[in-house]
Amino acid sequence: MTKKEFIEFVNVTLNEVKLYAEIHANKSLPNKFKFKWLKDDCKTVIGRENVIKEIVRLVFIEEDKIYPCVDLNIGLEEEYISITSWIANYNPRPFQKGWSNRPGPFIYCLGHDIISNKIDTKSKEFKNKLIDLGLLHYEKE
């Protein structure tokens, strides 16, 4: 995967992150992003383009060297979708299907402040809805 293709993939990932969080929250969320690596030497970045650049900066090494397992921990902070992230300790490799069975390295993790108690996120119907929207990549139940 080229760097340009990976940048577009991260852009699409932010759309998915927002939709995934909105479905779990059972409400619309802001279209503003804040991001921070869970490393002492990294600062918080604000704004979609800055978030994309920051993710690409550490995840994409070169076309056949992309870190394969990156958690995106999603929460809400003021008027932002706030994402904190870390890279698992695996060597970079070509772009592939990840641990979560979706294409690419990202694993979506939701903070408790996102999940609405008005929906049953463990139900078959809810999981099938996520599958229909392309947010889960497993067989329907």
Q: Is residue 130 part of a domain?
A: no
Report yes or no on 93 lying in a domain: yes
Determine how many CB atoms are found less than 10 A away from the CB of residue 106: 23
Counting the structural domains of the chain, the total is 1
Please, what's the b/e burial string for 41-52 (b: 16 or more CB within 10 A of its CB; e: otherwise)? eeeebeebeebb
For residue 16, tell me if it sits in a domain.
yes
For residue 113, what pLDDT is reported? 84
Q: What global pTM score does this model have?
A: 0.92
- What tokens does 128 get? 């099938």
Q: Evaluate whether residue 61 is within a structural domain.
A: yes
pLDDT tens-digit series, residues 23-39: 999 999 999 999 999 98
The per-residue pLDDT for range 51-99, each reduced to its tens digit, is: 999 999 999 999 999 999 999 999 999 899 999 999 999 999 999 998 8
According to the model, what pLDDT value does residue 140 have? Answer: 77
- Could you tell me which residues are beta bridge partners of residue 75? 82
- Residue 19: the pLDDT is 96
pLDDT: which is higher, 70 or 136: 70
Range of the domain at 34: 3-115
Position 124 in a domain: no
Distance CA 102, CA 54 (A): 21
User: 22 pLDDT band (50/70/90 cuts)?
Assistant: very high
C-alpha distances (whole Å) from 35 to each of 5, 63, 137 are: 21, 24, 25
Supply the pLDDT for residue 39.
86
Residue 135 lies in a domain: no
